[in-house]
Structure 1
Amino acid sequence: MKITYFEVTDTLYIEFCKAERLETFDYDDNTLIDVDVVGHVCGITVEHAKQGVDLQRLSFEQVSWHAA
């Protein structure tokens, strides 16, 4: 996963995988969903990111889970 913030356009892009994008859907006025050829979400674009995302507190945590 890769998260990129474009300050000039106030756009946040979350890339889940390096797949070829087949289509982009509008989720709402500020959110676009990229879907690959098999229908998996491969990216999310958040426009006007400062309005909906606290960029100063953006963090990543990996949690391991093991079935009992």
Structure 2
Amino acid sequence: MKMQYFSDTGTLYIEFREGDIAESRDLDENTLLEVDAAGGVCALTFEQAGTRIDVNQLTIEGIAT
């Protein structure tokens, strides 16, 4: 998983897994879901994330085993 925040545009991009994007779906005016040919989620894009969430409080937690 990879997360990138672009402060110049206020965009937060979260990639769950690499793959060929077959379709991009608008969830709302500022949220985009990208899926592969099988419908698996590859990524989410949040436009204007800086005004929608507190990006300074983003944290990553490990996966419990």
Whether these two folds match at TM > 0.5 is: yes
Partner residue, 1:7: 7
Query: Structure 1 length as normaliser, TM-score?
Result: 0.89
Any unmatched runs of 5+ in structure 1?
none
Count of aligned residue pairs for this structure pair:
65
**Greater Cα radius of gyration, structure 1 or 2:** 1
Question: Aligned-pair distance for 1:62?
Answer: 1.6
Structure 1 stretches of at least 4 aligned residues deviating more than 6 Å after TM superposition: none
Partner residue, 1:24: 24
Any unmatched runs of 5+ in structure 2?
none
Task: Specify the SS of the correspondent of 2:50.
Answer: helix
Partner residue, 2:61: 61
Question: Aligned-pair distance for 1:37?
Answer: 1.3
Pair 1:43-2:35 in alignment = no
Identity %: 43
Letter in 1 for 2:37: V
Query: Structure 2 length as normaliser, TM-score?
Result: 0.92
Residues 9-29 of structure 1: per-residue CA shift (max 9 Å, x gap): 110100000111001000011
CA RMSD, aligned part only? Answer: 1.0
